[in-house]
Amino acid sequence: MTTNTATTEKTGARTDEAAALIDGARERIDSLDDRIIGLIQERMAVSAVIQEARISSGGRRVNLNREMEVLGHYRDALGKPGTALAMTMLELCRGRI
C-alpha cells in the first residue's frame, strides 16, 4: 500500500495504516499532555497555599527536606529522568506568592 507525501511528511510513516495509527496515538498524547499541564497548574496553586502558610507562620518559603522526598519519589517511579522532571516541576512551584 502507498501513502501520499503529505502523510509521510506529517507522520514519518510509510503506509496509510501506520500513519493512521500514529495520528490516533498523537491525539491521545496531546490529550494526556493537556491533562498533565492541568495537574501541574493545580499543583502550583496548592504549593502556593503551602508556601504562604509557611511564610506567614515565620517559616521559610521552601522546605528542602520535603523537596528531597518529592525528588526521591519521582526517581523511584521514573528512574534518573524522573529526578530532572521533578526538579522542573518543583521550580515551577516555587516562589509563586
Q: Is the pLDDT of residue 6 over 80?
A: no
* Digit-coded pLDDT (tens) for 37-64: 999 999 999 999 999 999 999 999 899 9
- Whether the per-residue pLDDT at 84 is higher than 70: the answer is yes
The answer to whether residue 7 scores a pLDDT higher than 80 is no
Find the DSSP H helices in 57-96: 64-78, 80-93
The three grid cell numbers given for residue 8, joined into one nine-digit string: 509521510
pTM to 2 decimal places = 0.82
